[in-house]
Amino acid sequence: MSECFQKSKGQLPTPQLIFETGSAGRSGFFWPDNPKTKPEWIPARFLRDDIPGFPELGELEVMRHFTRLSHLNYSIEGQFYPLGSCTMKYNPKINEVVARLTGLSLLHPLAPLPLIQGALELLRGLERMLAEICGMDHVTLQPAAGAQGEMTGLMMVRAYLSARGNPRRKILIPDTAHGTNPASSTLCSYEVVQVPSNDRGIIEAKKVKEVMDEEVAGLMITNPNTFGIFEQDIQAIAEIIHEKGGLIYMDGANLNALMGIAKPGDMGVDLLHMNLHKTFSTPHGGGGPGAGPVGVKGFLQDYLPVPRIIQGAEGYELSEDFPKSVGRVRSFFGNFGILVRAYSYIISLGSDGLEEASRMALLNANYVRSRLKEHYHVPYSEPCLHECVFTDRLQQKHGVHTIDIAKRLLDYGFHPPTIYFPLVVSGAIMIEPTETESPETLDAFIDALISIAREAKESPSLVKSAPHTTPVGRLDETRAARNLILRWNPSKEDGK
């Protein structure tokens, strides 16, 4: 929509589409009176045909249009993202400065080894720091995302068990798992066996024991889980799995709740992946770039992807001389710029700072939970860690549902939290404030949700018809998904 508005007496201004503004012949540029610069002298490949109905505008109008659109975009620098599970924490700008240092940003991946010793030393340092944080013995930095890290980890599990004579057929996965867990298992030719959580939101050792046998390759577990609750039986579960020759794989998506406080390796975990965007503040979203390093215990090191960085006689080398390796999973040695950012974050905070970041994430989440528990139903009584889950049960009495609450939050200027996840919680509202949000921001967000809870009782139609102040009102999301309009067509009225 443009800056121009049609005004009707007694009504709010109605915004116009950019296609409805301008006039014929209006332009943001002029051809100089030089025959060599006239359109007929421009090669045909640089020209396009006229687009029927395309708006003709001046430069200022075009600039205002795109600048206004940019202000409608959400970004972590402009707004609070309370998305649970996604962990939209702030990306410190010092990390960006370091990643843009000429010697790092312009380094060619095919440069000779003597010219990349500094980069290899940085990567080796990051491997060691991540291993220490997680209680692992070795780390590969190659996987390009958490999901690829999962697949890489399961490939190593399969290779390790195959070398012992039987790759096995099944993987145990709690019903609270992220969707990538069963997907990765299937890609690695495993059958998924679901383990139900109990009324406290965790899985019990006895439930795992009931389904564990010699055909189970291992258990994939997220800890803390997607309810934000710590899996208290993790060590007992690990003993059950190990007793029958299986492995414990931990989905490290929620490592930001443990970083600097507890180590998965001390809980019986054999391997795990780490989402650098969730725990170590690297950029998130937009389809990448990403990084999902995998940490393993010593007995799995021979199966790590290649190339691996090793210490040679004249410095660091890249070696592929590991016959049991699962092979390459990424070109060169991972998303280097993202790895540099994570390295910068870790050395900037140090061990004490990493612990403080985790404790602040826990404090913020429990503050949100404490203030909202009287206004929204809490499905589990267990204390939460870095994120908290509510439901719409109290609001359903008035015909208001989770989707309505999320839409109404837009009117208050807040991005909605994650909704309808975890799937095993009906009407879930999942909030993760991270450690980077101030008390003032959290209070404003909490007050908005309390106000919406009051509106649901007193004026439910107001909430059910939200949003009211956004450029576009409530959309028919089902129709939008089934009737895609990807190009404006002036010949069709509904194409506007």
Q: How far is it, in rounded angstroms, from Cα 496 to Cα 493?
A: 6
Structural domain boundaries in the chain: 5-72, 93-348, 358-481
pLDDT of residue 109: 86
CA 467 centroid distance within chain: 25
Asked if 209 and 161 count as a contact pair (C-beta separation under 8 A), the reply is no
Closest CA to 112 of 316, 312, 308: 316
User: What band does 288 get if pLDDT is binned at 50, 70 and 90?
Assistant: low
pLDDT tens, residue by residue, 161-212: 999 999 999 999 999 898 899 999 999 999 999 999 999 999 999 999 999 9
Q: What pLDDT, in 10s, does the model give residues 364-393?
A: 999 999 999 999 999 999 999 999 999 999
pLDDT beyond 60 at 79? yes
What is the DSSP-derived secondary structure letter of residue 377?
B
Average pLDDT score over residue span 250-257: 95
Q: Pick the closest to residue 227 from 434, 22, 409, 428 (CA basis).
A: 428
Of residues 388 and 53, the one with the higher pLDDT is 388
Torsion angle, alpha carbons of 351, 352, 358, 362, to 10: 160
Average pLDDT over residues 416-438: 95
Residue 233 has pLDDT above 50, yes or no: yes
pLDDT in tens, 124-134: 999 999 999 99
**How many helices (H) does the chain have, and how many strands (E)?**
15, 14
- Looking at the chain, the whole-number percentage of residues with pLDDT higher than 90 is 75
Predicted local distance difference test score (pLDDT) of residue 460: 98
pLDDT surpasses 70 at 160: yes
pLDDT on residue 38: 60
pLDDT band at 489 (very low <50, low <70, confident <90, very high): low
Phi–psi pair at 453, nearest 5 degrees? -60, -40
Can you list the pairs that 362-368 forms with residues at least 24 positions away whose Cβ atoms lie under 8 Å? 362/257, 362/386, 364/433, 364/434, 364/435, 364/437, 364/442, 365/228, 365/431, 365/432, 365/433, 367/433, 367/439, 367/442, 368/431, 368/433, 368/442, 368/445, 368/446
Instruction: Please report the DSSP string for 420-476 in residue order.
Output: S-STTSTTEEEE---TT--HHHHHHHHHHHHHHHHHHHH-HHHHHT---SSSS----
Return the pLDDT at 27. Answer: 82
397-417: pLDDT as tens digits:
999 999 999 999 999 999 999
pLDDT of amino acid 287: 57
Q: What architecture is domain 358-481?
A: Alpha-Beta Complex (3.90)
- Taking the model in full, what pTM does it have? 0.88
Report the range out of 89-93, 445-449, 489-493 with the highest average pLDDT.
445-449
For domain 93-348, say whether CATH 2.130.10.30 is its number.
no
**Region 62-66 average pLDDT:** 91
How many CA within 13 A on the CB side of residue 161? 25
Gap between the Cα atoms of 259 and 205, Å rounded: 25
145-157 mean pLDDT: 96
Instruction: Give the separation between CA 115 and CA 122, rounded to whole angstroms.
Output: 13
315-319/308-312 β-pairing: antiparallel
Mean pLDDT within 285-300: 87
Compute the average pLDDT of residues 42-53. Answer: 78
pLDDT bucket at 51, cuts 50 / 70 / 90: confident
Give the Cα separation of 415 and 77 in Å (integer).
Answer: 13
| pLDDT of 418 strictly over 70 | yes
Residue 237: the pLDDT is 98
Say whether 274 sits in a helix, a strand or coil: strand
Instruction: Output the six-digit token pair for 389.
Output: 């889950």
